[in-house]
Amino acid sequence: MDKKNKHALQVSALCNGTVIDHIPADKLFAVVSLLDIPSMNNNVTIGYNLESKKLGKKGLIKIADRFFTDDDVSKISVVAPNVVLNTIRNYNVVEKREVRMPDELHNIIKCNNLNCITNNEPMATHFYVSNRKEGTLKCRYCEKEQNINDVELL
Amino acid sequence: MKSRSLVSINDLSREKILSLLETAGKFEENPNSKILDGRVVGSLFFEPSTRTRLSFETAANRLGARVIGFSDAATSSASKGETLKDTIMMVSSYADVIVMRHRLEGAARYASEVSPVPVINAGDGANQHPSQTMLDLYSIKKTQGTLEGLNIHLVGDLKYGRTVHSLLHAMRHFNPTFHFIAPEELHMPEEYRIFCRENNIPFTETTEFNEDVIADADIIYMTRVQRERFSDLMEYEKVKNCYRLTNTMLEGTKENLRILHPLPRVNEIAHDVDENPKAYYFQQAQNGLYVREALICDVLDIKI
């Protein structure tokens, strides 16, 4: 097998589904668990520590016959803000979405402040992204600023 | 959802603040009337706060409203495990406006979203206490004639003191210069220093509290340095008397200087200061009544 074919084997083509690319290697397994991949019956390929010019080492997830909603994308953005979602139909990339954290996060993450009403009342959380670059979020309720790296998903 | 609720001082524009202060001024001239005759104010103090509760309830009573509610969560059904939402829904079917104090941060914002009647936040944990900030602003404007361009010295616990944080936020509309005077352990958190820089608010910081530091002050806002805030009690013992204002310190200060304190005071202002005409903290508390009259009328959309 020549070098080119070996490469093709590593990232074989998908007929229909989603390729999540440019996941920082250290975030790969967080994304895997976030999307609840272990409970999926779909054909899934996971690439770990692949070479990447942009990231050094990256992760990649290919999921056959599965497409993601905007809500899922918002969730992914919390764990890995700059990943790329490629939607594949009939072996062609029909859409390339760069995951961007939305301006507001509705019921995706938990507030870090134990004295926040959202941790004490059956209600949805709501955060404003105050600084996307730094990953700073502000809880709509307790108004505490917190960093995206310190918060837990709901 | 209910735009007329008052949850956070940060929600108020400069114009709104000034118009509320003007209304409060009218209530100072005439604090008693019947404009809330037939109205019911729900006073829900899930956490005790005698001073704030009495001030709000007096405001309601002096305008002819009737007051229902509780002064402690132990006497409400919250102690039986009722959710905040259910309590608010129940009370809002009886009352025209809800004044609430709660130990949890964000409780008032949430209540304002679920309540069909306006909610006034009378303190939500360490977060917001907008009627306190409004009465601070009222006191500053009344004693200085303006809110513009003042030299404001914040003294004591600048780390946990929510009153100083809210005051700082509200004053961003009025070109102040701040002076932060606090022990190392209780210095102004970075997020507020960033806030000042972003809003072009000049500020200085020092750990020294003496005659020289306050010589050019228009307002000294004192706060209590609380023992429980210190991880190291030795440190507390060292600093507890350093942030104490005495009458002799006021000798060289400006004529227009006034001393504010959200109260209760412990020993951070010596009792001999009380007789000094620059002491203003008791009048400041009294101003809370007029401000709260204005706030209740505003959320009920009653024009004065």
Q: Please report the ipTM that was assigned to this predicted complex.
A: 0.89
The pLDDT value recorded for residue A11 is 54
Segments of chain A assigned to CATH 3.30.70.140: 3-98
Question: In sequence order, what are the beta bridge partners of B220?
Answer: B153, B259
Residue extent(s) of CATH 2.30.30.20 domains in chain A: 104-150
The C-alpha atoms of residue B27 and residue B15 are separated, in whole angstroms, by 19
pLDDT digits (tens, 9 = 90+) for B68-120: 999 988 877 777 889 999 999 999 999 999 999 999 999 999 999 999 999 99
Query: Domains of chain B: which residue ranges?
Result: 32-128, 131-285
Query: Which residues of B are catalytically annotated?
Result: 51-52, 80, 101, 129
CATH of A3-98, one of 3.30.420.40, 1.10.1740.10, 3.10.310.10, 3.30.70.140: 3.30.70.140
pLDDT band per the 50, 70, 90 thresholds, residue A58: very high
Interchain contact, B109 vs A117, CB within 8 Å:
yes
Is-same-fold flag (B32-128; B131-285)?
yes
Contact status, residue B250 vs residue B273, Cβ threshold 8 Å:
yes
Stretch B228-243: mean pLDDT, rounded? 81
CB–CB of A140 and B109 under 8 A?
A: yes
Q: Do B84 and A122 make contact, defined as CB atoms within 8 angstroms? A: no
Q: Is the CB of A115 less than 8 angstroms away from the CB of B85? A: no
Distance CA B14, CA B22 (A): 12
Instruction: Report the distance separating Cα B278 and Cα A52, nearest Å.
Output: 67
Could you tell me which CATH number the domain at B32-128 has?
Answer: 3.40.50.1370
| Average pLDDT, integer, range A59-77 | 88
> pLDDT value at position B231?
79
Does B137 or A52 have the greater pLDDT score? B137
Give B180's strand partners: B154, B205
C-alpha to C-alpha distance for B110 and A67, rounded to whole angstroms: 34
Q: How confident is the model at residue A7 (pLDDT cuts 50, 70, 90)?
A: low
Integer Cα distance of B304 and B292 in angstroms: 14
Class (C level, CATH) for B131-285: alpha beta
> Half-sphere exposure of A49 toward its Cβ, with a 13 Å CA cutoff?
0
Give the residue-averaged pLDDT of B136-159. Answer: 97
Q: What is the mean pLDDT of residues B147-156?
A: 97
Q: Are B259 and B279 in contact (CB under 8 A)?
A: yes
Asked if B57 contacts B292 with a C-beta cutoff of 8 angstroms, the reply is no
- Measured between CA atoms, the residue of chain A closest to residue B127 is A142
Of A116, A121, A143, the CB nearest to B85: A121
**Which of B113, B127, B191 to probe by mutation at the A interface, max A CB count within 10 Å?**
B127
A117 and B191 within 8 Å at the Cβ level: the answer is no
pTM confidence score: 0.87
Mutate to test the interface with A, among B110, B162, B165 (most CBs of A within 10 A): B110
Q: At A88, is the secondary structure helix, strand, or coil?
A: strand
Q: Give the pLDDT of residue B1.
A: 40
Q: How far is CA B241 from CA B163, B182, B227, B266, in A?
A: 21, 12, 12, 11
Burial of residue A133, with CB atoms counted within 10 A of its CB: 0-12 exposed, 13-18 middle, 19 or more buried: exposed
Quote the pLDDT of residue A2: 54
Token pair of B227 as six digits: 């023992």
**CATH number, domain A104-150, options 2.30.30.20, 3.40.190.10, 3.40.50.300, 1.10.443.10:** 2.30.30.20
Look at residue A140 and tell me whether its pLDDT is greater than 90: yes
- Tokens 């259910």 correspond to B86
